[in-house]
Structure 1
Amino acid sequence: MTKFEIYKWDKWNMVHAEVKGKKITVRVISDQWGEDCHTFLSRPQLMNWVEQYYAADRFQGTEEERETIISRFREV
């Protein structure tokens, strides 16, 4: 299993990705919603979710932060 830290602002707000063979699991942990887990069977499926989840009109950070997060997902 390979683990990737996408971002971590503090111990309550972070995103991690884990790769086990073909399966990619993304854990989104926030202080407002708790832990949300998403499982993908391919990288294209993951990147489609990333583009929707981190859409420019919904993201509450700078464009630079958004691009950094998306580029880290591309490394998975």
Structure 2
Amino acid sequence: MIKKHEIYKKDKWNMMTVEVQGRYIVLREISDQWGEETHTFMSRPALMHWAQNRFSKQEYEGQEDEWRRIMDAFKQV
């Protein structure tokens, strides 16, 4: 069974889908700037490590609520 999660960044053109496929976690990042990128993770800690590096807290200074929303969405996976 595949569980699918959608995480939005600002709008539907900048989003991520995360699918849990057995022991793999497949993340597709879609952006209006770069198109689509796919990342495969073997564990949730690996996914969280990537997310914390990809969405560094410093980038969201003054927008802590947005950063927290994105991190909470990853924790739901």
TM (normalized to structure 2)? 0.88
Aligned-residue offset at 1:21: 0.7
Unmatched runs of 5 consecutive residues or more in structure 2: none
3-state SS of 1:25 partner: strand
Shift of the 65–18 alpha-carbon distance from structure 1 to 2, 3 Å rule, reads: same
Paired amino acid for 1:65: E
TM (normalized to structure 1)? 0.89
Number of matched residues? 75
Shift of the 34–59 alpha-carbon distance from structure 1 to 2, 3 Å rule, reads: farther
Percent identical pairs in the alignment equals: 47
Unmatched runs of 5 consecutive residues or more in structure 1: none
* Pairing 1:41–2:10 present: no
Where is the helix percentage greater, Structure 1 or Structure 2?
2
3-state SS of 1:3 partner: strand
Cα root mean square deviation, aligned = 1.6
Between the aligned partners of 2:27 and 2:71, the Cα distance in structure 1 is 13
1:37-76 to 2 correspondence within 5 Å?
37-59=38-60, 62-76=63-77
